Amino acid sequence: MNTHFRSYLFVPAASIKIMDKALNSEADSIIVDFEDAVALAEKEASRERAKSHLLSRQNEKTVFIRINDITTPFWKEDLEAAILAGVSGVIVPKAENAGNMQVICQTALYYLNKVNRTPDSFEVLALIETARGVHFAYEIASSHYLVKRLVFGSIDYSLDVNCELTPHGTELLFARSQIVNASKAAGIDSPVDAVYPDFQNEHGLKNEAERAKSLGFTAKLAIHPKQIPIIHDTYTPTQQEVESALEIVKAFEEAEQQNIASISVGGKLVDYPVYKKAKAQLQFLNREGEQKVW
């Protein structure tokens, strides 16, 4: 499974009604939350109810499940339920080291094999939300081939390091950059940025989404369907960006045929790094089917 999503919408497993609203929303994918959104006494009942409901609505939208973390007694049953429900993957909270990720991934392979599902039909996304998680982000990202993407959890991270969340986001610059760099170094997909908790503040969401995009994030978590249009607008290349990339690729390839590797396009220098970036963007768009450009 090699699919890029711009948005991941959280929905509590305890509410079938809200789950249905999420499944019918414009979000690229949804995350059914077995962790923070479910009270301890409701964990097992919510898990079974969500599993049955997701089985009845398979293939309507790409679904992930956030399981409980590995230090709890719930994670194995959560993981098995996710695989039995046919979802596309799980989000692992409090991802802090490679060893725990390997245990979770090997357990996932065991359950996948039991129901004759292939490993390429399932993804494990590691939620980085502590200082240890940020510190060991590369080891987590490269821990197992099922780990396809890192996800940033800024609220828990800010609590862990005792920093104050601000509108300009400077306090999260190191963590975000570390997660992006670790993802690239490990050769996995670009990471998913954190939720923006004030779903009434569209301007704040837009600013944060653009800030994360500038650092290398290509998607964002959401907590309300009204956040989806802004997230999609931010993480979808504009027509102007597509046309500029096409112009760069076309001009450079024509120059390269004449043994020229440094040209000017629109008054800007274009050499191999600039060409490769434009080429990668066009290949990404073609692969995802968001916009055919060849």
C-alpha 65/C-alpha 130 separation (Å) is 20
Residue 151, both tokens: 């996800």
Consult the annotation and say whether 233 binds a ligand.
no
Consult the annotation and say whether 66 binds a ligand.
yes
Consult the annotation and say whether 156 binds a ligand.
yes
C-alpha 113/C-alpha 26 separation (Å) is 32
Question: Who contacts 241 (Cβ-Cβ below 8 Å, separation ≥6)?
Answer: 281
Other Cβ atoms closer than 10 A to 207: 16
Question: Who contacts 237 (Cβ-Cβ below 8 Å, separation ≥6)?
Answer: 245, 281, 285, 290, 291
With the C-alpha atoms ordered 174, 175, 179, 182, is the resulting torsion angle positive or negative? positive
Burial class (CB in 10 A: 0-12, 13-18, 19+), 47: buried
Residue list, annotated binding site for Mg(2+): 129, 156
Residue list, annotated binding site: 66, 129, 156
Residue list, annotated binding site for substrate: 66, 129
